[in-house]
Amino acid sequence: MKESYQSYVFMGLLSSLLIISFSGCEKSEGVVDSQQSVADANQSSLDEGQKAFDMQLAKKVEQAIADEEALSEFVIAVMATNGVVQLSGEVETRAEHDLVVKVTRDVDGVDRISDLLRIKQ
């Protein structure tokens, strides 16, 4: 009788441990899922913030080029991605090309320039 009582106690403890173990796994997965959701939301916020920064940077460069009297007649396309400003379009001379690049470089926030400008021949 004592032996079967011990078996029941042992089985009860074993069952409790298994239930606790499985419950812990489910909670861990839930925590991981929650952490992933938070990480995704943070990444999304960073992406949106970066997009807003890039749009603002492109507008600042466009305005700086438009404010330069010697360049006002040219249509220069400006795109910005992560601080890299891409310039495309066509200018008449090397001096005008160099001025576009200089004006762009002087805008706060420009890390690098991708120069796709063409000089008319």
Q: What are residue 91's DSSP bridge partners?
A: 119
108 vs 27, higher pLDDT: 108
Residue that has been written with the tokens 């690049």 in this structure: 101
Residue 83 near residue 109 (C-beta atoms within 8 A): yes
* Average pLDDT rounded to a whole number, residues 18-36: 55
The pLDDT value recorded for residue 88 is: 97
Helix (H, G, I), strand (E, B) or coil at 119: strand
20 vs 103, higher pLDDT: 103
* Average pLDDT rounded to a whole number, residues 89-113: 96
- Domains in the chain: ranges and CATH: 2-119 (3.30.1340.30)
Strand order in the sheet with 112-119: 76-81, 84-91, 112-119
* Average pLDDT rounded to a whole number, residues 92-119: 96
- Burial label for 30, CB within 10 Å (0-12, 13-18, 19+), is exposed
User: What's the DSSP call for residue 1?
Assistant: -
* Nearest-5° Cα angle at 97, 95 to 99: 70
92 vs 31, higher pLDDT: 92
Is the pLDDT at 31 greater than 80, yes or no? no
The pLDDT value recorded for residue 23 is: 57
Task: Categorize the per-residue pLDDT at 59 as very low, low, confident or very high, splitting at 50, 70 and 90.
Answer: very high
The pLDDT value recorded for residue 117 is: 96
